[in-house]
């Protein structure tokens, strides 16, 4: 769960999704990984750090709804 109460998920469809826990609706979908995403963490600034099976690490900014960096 995100600090703001939203639910976050990662998947073998190579995406990270933010969900509204009250309605079950998808709020946002982040793409950019080339393999399934298996880990998510949060930075102090609110950005998401995600890691995929392919070894990619991507930082997403959920407020701006964009990819910040890809390693």
- CA–CA separation, 14 vs 24, rounded Å? 20
* Structural domains counted in the chain: 1
DSSP for residue 34: S
Among the listed residues 54, 60, 46, the one whose alpha carbon sits nearest the alpha carbon of residue 16? 60
Is this structure's pTM higher than 0.85?
yes
CA-to-CA distance for 37 and 45, rounded, in angstroms?
A: 21
Residue 34 lies in a domain: yes
- Tens digit of pLDDT for each residue in 2-34? 878 899 999 999 999 999 999 999 999 999 999
Structural domain harbouring 24:
7-70
In a domain, 41, yes or no: yes
Q: Which residues pair with 10 in a beta bridge?
A: 16
What's the confidence (pLDDT) of residue 65? 92
- Residue 28 resides in a domain: yes
In the structure encoding, which two tokens stand for residue 23, read together? 């309605």
């Amino acid at each position: 769960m995100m600090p703001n109460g939203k639910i976050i998920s990662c998947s073998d469809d190579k995406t990270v999704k933010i969900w509204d826990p009250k309605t079950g609706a998808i709020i946002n979908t982040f793409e950019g990984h080339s393999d399934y995403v298996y880990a998510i963490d949060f930075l102090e600034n609110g950005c998401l750090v995600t890691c995929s099976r392919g070894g990619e690490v991507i930082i997403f900014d959920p407020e701006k709804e964009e990819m910040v960096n890809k390693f």
